[in-house]
Amino acid sequence: MKRSREEMQIVWETPANPPERHDYIFRNGTRYVRPYYFEFISHVKNRWAGKTIVDLFAEEFKGRPYDYYVSAVKSGRIQVDGQLVPVSYIVQPSQKISHFLHRHEPPVMAWDVSILQEEPDVLTVCKPASVPVHPCGQYRKNTVIGILQAQHDLAPLFPVHRLDRLVSGLLILARSASKADLFRQQIEAGMVKKQYIAKVIGVFPEDEQVVNVNVNYNAREGRSTVEEVGDCCGNGTGSTPVKGKAACTKFTRISTNGTHSIVLCEPITGRTHQIRVHLQYTSHPIANDMLYLSKVVPDRSTEGLSAGRAAAVKSGPLITNTCEASINKSEENCSEDFSIDPACTNCPNLAPKGYDGREEGLWLHCVRYTGPDWIYECPHPDWAFLN
């Protein structure tokens, strides 16, 4: 039964509170996190100094209306250095600002995080698409690290490499910081070979394609662009200054049905969105990559959506590709009640604003990492087998 805030005792969580199995709610193939109370802490930046506490929040955190921040300051949900302040309070550099709120995490697809191989010092898993690797942004419990801790009591874990949220496949996790450092040293020394597969538009060329174009990532827009510079050894073609970072990817066609192709992708470097933007450069973008199917940059909405989500919203709903068999059926009927907070701008919905729609993972999947004396692999997804 749902209860109002006045009828319950609020328990504030911090990052030290580990995720637990009962924190998750499963509904229609989607994994939600039961909303919880959390203290967000930030420190006043120099450019914030001199603003009133309300104006600071209204200008820097636009996901909530101005009136909410007025109410939050008056009720003590926003504090400065642990003290209540008036709405006219002028903030100063380095002051600690606490925002106590009812936290709603974005939902992810309800696929399991499948354990592939468990060793004393290494764990490999098949990361589901739509699930971030570690806590970031609005995600904390709805992450690979959080789910593994909640469902398998696996902690601490140290990601050896990263996969974008919408990318699926092999994820290597060290079970100690020293082991993670060893892996990273091998990666930085160029001793590790990475292989992905992608489903792209059209008939990809039969011969191996080597793309060597700089990747320039625009963090504000959440999107990369390219600029041609030379060969895989980094030899430029002229004296004109280039933007971005050197990037090289090798592509080999695995199969095609005349409409789509499955392509093996071997990134020589590791730039943000490198495979995605290099495939766009070949005129064979990933077939469901709304961010790179068009050269038009989508609007990053004031709701704080990522570029990928904004592109998906602008392009309409994606084709559902949910693997129902991988959903943890034992938790499908988990109790769905949660406490409604009358001061919360997201209640009574489970998801925060802007995250209510279903989404699909990219048709990009990490299949293999090979090192000097080790190799880890992940099975191919269903979409990799063309009809």
Answer whether residue 127 is part of any domain. no
DSSP count for the chain of H helices, then E strands: 6, 18
How large is the average pLDDT for residues 172-198? 96
Between these two residues, 189 and 322, which has the higher pLDDT value?
189
pTM reported for the whole predicted model: 0.83
Q: Which domain holds residue 220?
A: 193-316+368-384
Out of 108-112, 163-167, 320-324, 383-387, which region has the weakest mean confidence (pLDDT)?
320-324
DSSP line for 266-332: EESS--TTHHHHHHHHTT--BTT-TTTSSSSPPP--TT---HHHHHHHHH-PPPP---GGGB-GGGT
Q: Name the nearest CA neighbour of 321 among 5, 17, 21, 29.
A: 29
DSSP line for 361-382: --SEEEEEEE-SS-EEE-PPPG
Tell me: the pLDDT tens digits for 224-240? 999 876 555 455 555 55
What pLDDT is stored for residue 309 in this prediction? Answer: 56
What pLDDT is stored for residue 31 in this prediction? Answer: 95
DSSP line for 334-349: --------TT-SSTTS
How large is the average pLDDT for residues 113-136? 96
What pLDDT is stored for residue 336 in this prediction? Answer: 59
How far is it, in rounded angstroms, from Cα 123 to Cα 113? 12
Answer whether residue 291 is part of any domain. yes
How large is the average pLDDT for residues 369-384? 97
Distances (CA, A) of 144 to 150, 169, 273, 333, 376: 10, 12, 20, 22, 18
pLDDT > 50? residue 208: yes
In terms of residues, how long is the chain? 387
Answer whether residue 206 is part of any domain. yes
What pLDDT is stored for residue 242 in this prediction? Answer: 66
Between these two residues, 258 and 337, which has the higher pLDDT value?
258
Percent of the chain with pLDDT over 90: 71
How far is it, in rounded angstroms, from Cα 144 to Cα 135? 9
pLDDT > 70? residue 330: no
Active site residues per annotation: 164
What pLDDT is stored for residue 230 in this prediction? Answer: 55
Percent of the chain with pLDDT over 70: 82
pLDDT > 50? residue 82: yes
Answer whether residue 90 is part of any domain. no
Contacts with 79 (C-beta within 8 Å, 6 or more apart), sequence order: 85, 97, 98, 100
Answer whether residue 342 is part of any domain. no
Answer whether residue 246 is part of any domain. yes
Phi, psi of 311 (to 5 degrees): -65, -40
Contact 302, 62 (CB under 8 A): yes
Q: How many domains does the chain have?
A: 1
Answer whether residue 24 is part of any domain. no
Tell me: the pLDDT tens digits for 14-72? 777 889 999 999 998 999 999 999 998 999 999 999 999 999 999 999 889 999 999 99
- Bond prior to 120 in cis (omega within 30° of 0): no
Answer whether residue 222 is part of any domain. yes
How large is the average pLDDT for residues 91-108? 94
pLDDT > 70? residue 99: yes
User: Please, is 211 exposed, middle or buried when counting C-beta atoms within 10 Å of its C-beta (0-12, 13-18, 19+)?
Assistant: buried
- Helix H or strand E segment including 69: helix 66-75
